[in-house]
Amino acid sequence: MELANDALLDAADLAAWFGAQYGVPPVSIWRAPGRVNLIGEHTDYNEGLVLPFALARGVLTAAAGRKDAGIGLRSRQRAAEPVTLAPGQLRPGTVPGWAGYAAGCVWALEQAGYPVGGLSVAIDSDLPMGAGLASSAALTCSVLSAISTLAGGSVSGYAPSGMGKPAPTRTEIAALAQRAESGFVGMPCGIMDQSAAMLCQAGHALLLDCQSGVSAAVPLDVAGAGLQLLVTDTGVRHALADGQYAARRRECEQAASMLGVGSLRQVSDVAGLAGLPAPQLQRARHVVTENLRVQQVADLLRAGRLPEIGDLLTASHVSLRDDFEVSWRAADLAVDAALAAGALGARMTGGGFGGCVIALLPAGQATAVRAAINLALDTDPAAAPAYLDVEPADGARQVWPGH
């Protein structure tokens, strides 16, 4: 199965749907992208290094104020599930499902001192949910960006009324999106996905130091190197809030505590992990070696040696499979099949337990790699592969009114 490479979303179409739902046009529509993490998995909440890039696919959010104090939430993917919340209803854990992420954005803004007031929101998405492409971060970042422009300001601009203070910057929106997801929904995520949604640039990956918050654009000219990146959605879905993700984070925190450090970022060599018991040893070993791999990949990209990152991508997958134990059968089959069919490197991407695999291929090799993966995944009844050729895209932007 093919997934269209171009974004399927249309702002004018969402604006018309918004008007049909609420009886007024939207004031602002923002798009925030999903992301693929080239390398650097489960390092963000350990204050480590990550290297994601943004996708052409993402989430659109249309927003407008309303005269009453209610909060209306609509999703084109859940058209039969409209949600209207009354003032004072926004408490962590009280809004289930997709609407909890949007409601969490309003809650996070209010917690940060931005009075939101009555609000109508409509959402559209062309990202597969639960596929490890950061659909939840794309949703929260697009909602927050759209809401932040309602008072007449803009992201990174100034809101002269309504919010009453400078609108949040892109970096601040990423932090608010993380707070919405962790503090309101209850998913203890790191900052990588939200930072990618807000800060990425076309043709580049984003090297983000999750300890300092410092980020830098790293060239990722895949086509110029005679290569291509292929994402395989294995069709196996995860639910990261079901406890597995939280368990891995807890084990990392336990390892850091046993080592007497504030986070595993403070450990730079696996020799420093001596004495840790299982599973804390395995979790910490993945984090320490993954940080090293991220830096090595960034250095190779800056030096124009993109083909050489393949072995590091594959090493990352082995570490996630064996030490962090977040891979799944379809991902392992897809990685092995891609490598056997000529991929230079391949790895699972995302939090794990389901979702996608990314492979670095010589240009023109995609047909053979897809055929090999299809054949391999025929042996897994849980798998239903679909494919997406990807190139690094821009981060969040306003798409309505048109510019």
C-beta separation of 327 from 68 below 8 A? no
Q: Alpha-carbon distance 99 to 83, whole Å?
A: 7
Compute the distance between CA of residue 217 and CA of residue 205 in angstroms, rounded to an integer. Answer: 6
Assign 216 to helix, strand or coil: strand
d(CA 314, CA 312): 5
d(CA 132, CA 250): 20
- Which is catalytic among the residues 44, 193, 323, 380? 193
Nearest CA among 288, 81, 61 for reference residue 197: 61
Residue 358 backbone phi and psi in degrees, to 5: -115, 140
Pairing of strands 204-209, 83-85: unpaired
Distance CA 230, CA 297 (A): 18
Cβ(186)–Cβ(92) below 8 Å: yes
Instruction: Please name which of 148, 143, 150, 141 lies closest in space to residue 200, comparing C-alpha atoms.
Output: 141
Taking CA atoms, 180 is separated from 97, 140, 161, 355, 376, in Å, by: 13, 7, 24, 23, 39
> Active site includes 44?
no
Active site residues: 193
